[in-house]
Amino acid sequence: MKRRPQTVAEKVLARASGRDNVMPGELLEVRPDFTYSHDYAVFAIDAFEQMGARSVVAPDRNAIGLDHGFPVNNARDANNHARVRRFAKQHKFCAFFEGGTGIAHQVMMEKGLVLPGALVLASDSHTPSGGAVGALAIGIGETELGFIWATGRTWLKVPDTIRVNLTGSLPRGVAAKDAMLTLIGRLGVLGASYKAIEYQGAAVPLLSVSERFTFCNMSAEVGAKAGFFPADEVTEAFVRGRARFPYDPVRSDADAVYSEQVALDLSALEPMVVLPGREDQAIPVTEAAGKRIDQVFIGSCTNARADDLAIAARILRNRRVHPDVRLLVVPASRTVELESSRNGDLAILLEAGATLLPSGCAVCAGAHQGVLADGEVCLSTSNRNMPGRMGNKKAEIMLCSPATAAASAAAGVVTDARAFDDILS
Amino acid sequence: MAARKPAEQGVRRERKSVNAVIEGEATVLGDYISADTVLPARWSFVPPDEMAEHVLEEAGPQVNPKIKSRAIIVAGEAFGYGTGRESPARALRAAGIKAIVGGPFGRMFFRNAINNGILVVDCPAVLGCGIADGDTIVIDLDASRVRWKEQAFEIAPVAPIIRNIIAAGSLIDYGRAVMAARDGAPA
């Protein structure tokens, strides 16, 4: 009998459940290849202990990286961090990354723990980021993570897959972030709910792992279960020399079945700004230009890698952050911070008047640093802008690319970076 | 591996028609209430009682007291979208919520709520049909139906794993049963 053609999501889930073939809609019991968590691991520890579990199944495939609130600013969080450190050590997790190493999604990829073709589960909604290297990476809750530690398994539904066909190439001054904000505007915040998004098309070989990360990361903003770029030569070049585990890259069969096809011509795009309130409210920067801002945040797992800081530095070289604006820069990881430090980009940003915070979630986690005052507006390279996301419901958040963030920080209002033509050429 | 099957069977045996019917008064909420609005991140680490005092307070001035006094929420489109933090679901459990009907829901919120013993039923048909605050809603799992006054709304059959978790009380309770059965099973 001819085997039914399979998508990446179906292939990975079939393997993780010990099956040859699975169908969208089926509920499976799966064994993940790798799981990770962050500060909220403390709730997984609670669950694990309350279930009466004593040992972690496959600790060699579990890691934790503290990122949400480091360095801590109160005793309660300090005690939680201490508990997480002890647990990771006691159960011999394959890795524990101290606060300051970076945002877990970024770090797990840099350190070769999230790999092509792997089923990765982590207790955070931006877990789909791992699709940047071709992993099927899915967010789960903290109690569920505790259950996986205790039993080695959980249940997942096989998702339908939406195929997004990326064609053309990004025009000057337009970033992967602008493409993703355009796509989110088109699909809506539930547009890919419960589904996987597979990014394909002629433009894909031209996109770096960092750019792919931005797409996969914000796949969460259309409700997707996972978003991924099937592994190719770009993936292999990134993963080679880092991989901590054996891995098996998978690609969809040519005749695999998709629930929906979406075309996005990158050549036709322009820089976008998402208006406050909801992630699917993007408008061209030209229509948002001149809007007041109080804080600019260049950070988060979406857009704070070395290429993001490089474009910000190119724009802010020989310029100053506007006196009415605060610019917070938070590299996605210490590795990024080192690279941007060595190549001089961080020095340029500091000279321009940026404040540098330790690598981590910072402003985007909404409970730790950079909280806004009533009525203030933050222009951010992060991924979410619903009311209260940055810790104050009475403040507003707009989303954009690092280029738009940097240009706006200099101008003091929302600004089209393409106006700074000298540096984008 | 060898102990897996008996453990599972042990849990499956518990699946009677416990919680086959969930009935209670409903609070009706609007569309696009994110999980960050259900419970902002700053309340994630406080004790359950305190979480219950803050759950959905940002959704409107009178919402929190209603949530604490009624067991069911009729929630609009995209309820729980956004953050995958589990604390919003824990807060709803602490406030005494037993079921949420409506949607469609944010995926991670859906799982987190179920794992905290709150049945989440995708049934957008209940929205806009006139259900008012305080009305009684009945969710009949065996019949795969939601009832309000004289009306009945069909729902997709709730998966056995979800019914098992709800019947156990939460994923923690379910996990405790799995662990106990595994430890008790012959190796």
Closest partner CB to B78 (pick from A40, A190, A388): A190
Question: Are A125 and B83 within 8 A, CB to CB?
Answer: yes
- Collect the ranges in chain A with pLDDT lower than 50: none
Which residues numbered 117-156 in B keep a CB inside 8 Å of some CB on A?
none
Instruction: Check residue B104 and give its pLDDT.
Output: 93
Question: Are B112 and A143 within 8 A, CB to CB?
Answer: yes
Question: Are B83 and A384 within 8 A, CB to CB?
Answer: yes
**Range A87-92 contact pairs with CB under 8 angstroms and sequence separation of 24 or more:** A87/A41, A87/A45, A88/A41, A88/A63, A88/A64, A91/A55, A91/A56, A91/A59, A91/A62, A91/A149, A92/A59, A92/A60
Q: Which residues of chain B does A80 touch, with a Cβ-Cβ cutoff of 8 Å?
A: 45
Closest partner CB to B175 (pick from A124, A150, A388): A150
Q: Is A83 on the interface with B (CB under 8 A)?
A: no
Rounded Cα distance, A314 and A331, in Å? 16
Instruction: Check residue A369 and give its pLDDT.
Output: 87
Tell me the pLDDT tens digit for each residue of A96-118. Answer: 999 999 999 999 999 999 999 99
Instruction: Check residue B18 and give its pLDDT.
Output: 58
Which residues numbered 339-398 in A keep a CB inside 8 Å of some CB on B?
365-367, 384, 386-389, 391, 393
Instruction: Check residue B182 and give its pLDDT.
Output: 84
Question: In order of start, what are the domains of chain B with their CATH numbers?
Answer: 16-184 (3.20.19.10)
Q: Smallest CA–CA separation between B124 and chain A, in Å? A: 14
Instruction: Check residue A391 and give its pLDDT.
Output: 87
CB-neighbour burial class of residue A102 (10 A; exposed 0-12, middle 13-18, buried 19+): buried
Closest partner CB to B58 (pick from A40, A142, A388): A388
- Does the pLDDT at position B7 exceed 70? no
Q: Which residues of chain A does B107 touch, with a Cβ-Cβ cutoff of 8 Å?
A: 139, 193-194, 223, 225
Instruction: Check residue A200 and give its pLDDT.
Output: 98
Question: In order of start, what are the domains of chain A with their CATH numbers?
Answer: 13-264 (3.30.499.10), 273-424 (3.30.499.10)
Q: Is B42 on the interface with A (CB under 8 A)?
A: yes
Sheet holding A272-274, edge to edge: A282-284, A272-274, A396-399, A377-380, A295-298, A326-329, A355-356
Q: Is B157 on the interface with A (CB under 8 A)?
A: no
Q: Which residue in A190, A302, A364, A392 has the most chain B C-beta atoms within 10 A of its own C-beta, making it the best mutation to test that interface?
A: A190
Residue of A nearest to B78 (CA): A190
- Does the pLDDT at position B17 exceed 80? no
Closest partner CB to A143 (pick from B44, B171, B182): B171
Of A124, A206, A197, A122, the closest CA to residue A165 belongs to: A197
Which residues numbered 285-344 in A keep a CB inside 8 Å of some CB on B?
none
Q: Is A141 on the interface with B (CB under 8 A)?
A: yes
Q: Is B180 on the interface with A (CB under 8 A)?
A: yes
Tell me the pLDDT tens digit for each residue of A304-320. Answer: 999 999 999 999 999 99
Averaged pLDDT score across all residues of chain A: 96
Q: Which residues of chain B does A77 touch, with a Cβ-Cβ cutoff of 8 Å?
A: 45
Tell me the pLDDT tens digit for each residue of B19-57. Answer: 689 999 999 999 999 999 999 999 999 999 999 999 999
Q: Which helix (H) or strand (E) holds A164?
A: strand A161-167
Q: Mean pLDDT across the stretch B144-149? A: 97
Rounded Cα distance, A193 and A139, in Å? 13
Residue of A nearest to B77 (CA): A190
Q: Which residues of chain B does A140 touch, with a Cβ-Cβ cutoff of 8 Å?
A: 84, 108, 111
CA distance to A162, A305, A311, A341, per residue, from A345 (Å):
38, 12, 9, 6
Q: Smallest CA–CA separation between B24 and chain A, in Å? A: 26
pTM surpassing 0.80? Answer: yes
Q: How confident is the model at residue B183 (pLDDT cuts 50, 70, 90)?
A: confident
CB-neighbour burial class of residue A221 (10 A; exposed 0-12, middle 13-18, buried 19+): buried
Q: Which residue in B8, B33, B45, B183 has the most chain A C-beta atoms within 10 A of its own C-beta, making it the best mutation to test that interface?
A: B45
Interface predicted TM-score (ipTM): 0.91
- Does the pLDDT at position B2 exceed 60? no
